[in-house]
Amino acid sequence: MEKQIKELFVDVSELEAPKPFEEVIQLLKQVKSGEYIRMRHRKKPLPLFQFLQENGFDSCILESASSGNAVFWEIIIWIKDDKPVHDYCTRTF
């Protein structure tokens, strides 16, 4: 089962606001069951989390490699009702 789980990756860490938001919205419109999104960002974008909460997504956020002063975040997003992906993500991240 889990082999089929696919990651969609997007790096928005070098984009100015609100491009990161726009990019991930594009991906959210495409994401299918069996898929999750991994987004690399330099901020914890609260408006995005609000949007995810209100639209049936689940997410978690991890601190990813930081270089010098810069901290990067990885935001994992999946469709809440997609049980296998949900289980996979909660276990893995």
Partner 1 sequence: MNTKGLSLNTIPPVSIPLRFFLTAPLFGVLAAMMVLYFGQDIWGSRWQARSLALTHLLTIGFMLMVMIGALYQFIPVMIGQLIPGGRKRVAIVHLFLVFGSLSLMSAFLIQETILFQLALISLAVSVFLFALSLLPLLITQLNDHLIVYLIRILFCVLIVTIGLGLFMLLAYAYPNLIINYREYTDIHASWGLIGWVVILIMAVSSQVIPMFFVTPDFSVKYLKILSLLIVLTLAMMSLMALTKIDIQAILNLLLSIELSFFTIYTLQLINQRKRKIPDITVSFWRVSLFSLMISIVYWWLLVLGTNSELIPLKWSSQSEFTLGLLLIYGLAISAIIGMLQKIVPFLLYLNLQNLSFKHPDSMSAEPKLVLNMKQIITNQQSKVQFVLHISSYLLLLISIYWVKFTWLAGLVVLINFSWLFITLLRGFILFSKKRKAILMHPEMKMEFTFNK
Binders of partner 1 in range 33-92 (CB under 8 A):
33, 42-44, 46-47, 49-61, 68-71, 79, 81-82
Tell me the C-alpha distance between 8 and 71, whole Å. 22
Q: How far is the CB of 39 from partner 1 (least distance, A)?
A: 14
Q: How far is the CB of 8 from partner 1 (least distance, A)?
A: 12
Tell me the C-alpha distance between 4 and 71, whole Å. 31
Q: How far is the CB of 52 from partner 1 (least distance, A)?
A: 8
Tell me the C-alpha distance between 74 and 23, whole Å. 15
Packed helices 46-54 and 19-30: angle between N→C axes, nearest 10 degrees: 20
Binding site for partner 1 (CB under 8 A): 14-18, 21-22, 25, 28-33, 42-44, 46-47, 49-61, 68-71, 79, 81-82
